[in-house]
Amino acid sequence: MSIALVCGAWEIAGRVPISLAFPSFFDTAAAFWRMTLDGSLPIAFLITLHPLVIGIGISIVFGVGLGVTMGLSRGFEWLAAPVFIVMQAAPMAALIPLITFVYGIGLTAKVLAVCLLAVPVVVLNSYAAVRNANPSLVQMCRSFQGTRLQQIMKVIIPDASPVIFAGLRLGVAAGFIGIVLAELLITPTGIGDLITYHRAVANYAEMYASIVSIVVFSAVIVSLLEKVEVVLLRPEKRIKGTPE
Amino acid sequence: MSDQVAQAAQSAGSDPIVRVTGISKRYEGGVQALEGVDLDFPEGRLTSLLGPSGCGKTTLLKIIAGLLEPNAGEVQVAGRRVTGPGPERAFVFQDFALLPWATVTRNVAFGLELQGISKAERREKARHYIREVGLTGFEDRYPHELSGGMRQRVGLARAMAVDADVLLMDEPFSAVDEQTRRKFQEDLLHLLSVEKKTVIFVTHSIEEAVYLSSQVVLLSRRPGRVSKIIPTDLGGLESPDAIRRSKRYLDTVEDIWGMLKQYLLEDEIK
Ligand SMILES: Nc1ncnc2c1ncn2[C@@H]1O[C@H](COP(=O)(O)OP(=O)(O)OP(=O)(O)O)[C@@H](O)[C@H]1O
Ligand SMILES: [Mg+2]
């Protein structure tokens, strides 16, 4: 519903015309269709996704692992927490040109750009989630002689999972920002290349189609994550809110 | 004081299975919750802890459970010093402490799950105790779909399912309705007589304490100390109604009420 509203408003704004560089919704949709058929959009997506998937994969595994460890161990917390708090506060995007300087313009640089933006928020959310796990449930687990491992796997992580997953969603979104920035700033490839190219030749409908498609794609991935969480860890949420 | 303890243990007529000596507890924030608590809990009997809110009843129970470290003193269970939770003790939590992501069945069987018991056996036992607390038909529900009283019963069933010798119950019937409460009281008395369990029972209801217990321990206001131990064996009488009408029962309730009222009066003077 809200999607239809946004599209409608966009169509009207495009017709009015606010600016020559602002195509209407239908023009954009048509451009999207053309680009899908001629293969330029799918290929650009594949190119963009390659470092993105690697980067997000690393961020999730490394970020959740480190964050959970920090939440469980005071020593790790003391060591690592300040680093990530600074990282999250700093405008990390400013470091992307620096990465190019050190790692060149290849895959490594792009993966690193994704990680740089995604990891801090994933780490900090996982860490806060574990640190704030319900002490009463932890005590319950201890009272029934749960081992430390059982306590972590059966109580702390499921209890922390909503906040961990909120962090993952933010992390994935940040990863998308990272990859698009890298493609715009480092070397024009993939979606970044499409955007740059179509802007250069004033194909605004094509440019918007590229931008919107990456935004929608990112939103879809993020909401898929939510589904994964519900299925894997929090089955009770499936029925929450849907009255029988 | 110590001969009073001995006397109470004697009047209860059996050996202490849980012995608490010189327990003091100070929380990190500086709250002195307990100070110099000495208590004996006779085997196969029910002892109630009664006292004003915030006097340290939950704290004492958690120390006996091995969930909290006392700052001084020690707890012995069956002659062995407590250093942590053990399989011979099971806890019913005042705040229920149910896993929100687990069904009633899994919650009830959680103690068994932690012990590594097979899934089939867990289901079987859970089904039994779910029936016992009257939640049949709710096996696959999640805690947020249950009422407060129903959640409390899940917590009760979970503690019963591990078959511990000593049950530590923190206001276990506070949220259930009066009918269910009476049923559970009878069930508990039955359990005591048949299975020789020892129960340490926190409650705010004087009537419940006197009705169920062999002895009622009255704790003072914070910092909690033992202010009186009242032997309350109403043995001999058979029917619940006869007990509730007996002079001994009514007098004991009245006595304890008199003592608790003291705290209220002191509060008003302050
Ligand atoms: N984790 C904690 N940290 C600091 N103080 C605490 C903690 N838990 C309890 N206290 C304090 O210790 C005192 C005793 O608490 P406790 O929970 O044992 O009381 P209680 O007798 O069980 O009360 P109630 O009848 O209301 O359940 C209270 O004054 C409380 O404020
Ligand atoms: Mg309490």
Q: Looking at the predicted structure, is the pLDDT value of residue A186 above 80? A: no
Q: Range of B262's domain?
A: 3-88+200-269
| B166 located within any domain | no
- A143 interaction partners in chain B (CB closer than 8 Å): 65-67, 85, 89-91
B54 touches chain A (CB under 8 A): no
> For the segment B134-169, what is each residue's pLDDT rounded down to a tens digit?
999 999 999 999 999 999 999 999 999 999 999 999
Query: Nearest CB to B97: which of A140, A233, A239?
Result: A140
Number of Cα atoms under 13 Å in the Cβ half of residue B124: 5
- Per-residue pLDDT, B270: 60
ipTM of the complex: 0.87
> Is residue B30 in a domain?
yes
Does a structural domain hold residue B66?
A: yes
Which single residue is written with the structure tokens 């994964």?
Answer: A228
Q: What's the confidence (pLDDT) of residue A155? A: 95
Give me ligand 2 centre to Cα A49, in Å: 55
**CATH hierarchy code of domain A25-230:** 1.10.3720.10
The pLDDT of residue B253: 87
Beta strands in chain B (DSSP E): 16-26, 32-42, 46-50, 72-77, 80-81, 89-92, 166-170, 198-202, 215-219, 226-231
Instruction: Decide if B75 is inside a domain.
Output: yes
Task: Quote the pLDDT of residue B258.
Answer: 87
Report mean pLDDT in 10-residue bins for chain B, 270 residues.
46 74 92 92 92 91 95 93 93 94 96 95 94 92 93 94 94 90 88 86 92 91 88 71 81 87 71
* Alpha carbon of B52 to ligand 1 centroid (Å): 11
CATH code for the domain of B60: 3.40.50.300
CB contact under 8 A, A145 and B114: yes
Q: Do B97 and A142 touch (CB under 8 A)?
A: no
Per-residue pLDDT at B90? 95
What are A188-234's pLDDT values in tens digits?
788 888 888 888 888 888 888 888 888 888 888 888 888 888 888 77
Task: Give the pLDDT mean for A39-51.
Answer: 86
- B144 in a domain, yes or no? no
Give the nearest partner residue to B101 out of A136, A145, A234, using CB atoms.
A234
Least confident stretch, A63-67, A76-80, B107-111: A76-80
Binding site membership of B157 for ligand 1 (Cβ less than 6 Å):
no
**Is there a contact between A137 and B93 if contact means CB atoms under 8 Å apart?**
no
- Verify whether the Cβ–Cβ distance B99 to A235 is below 8 Å: no
Give the tens place of pLDDT for each residue, A82-140.
888 888 887 877 787 787 777 777 888 888 889 989 999 999 999 999 999 999 999 99
Residue B219 covered by a domain: yes
Quick check: CB of B239 below 6 Å from ligand 1? no
Domain count, chain B: 1
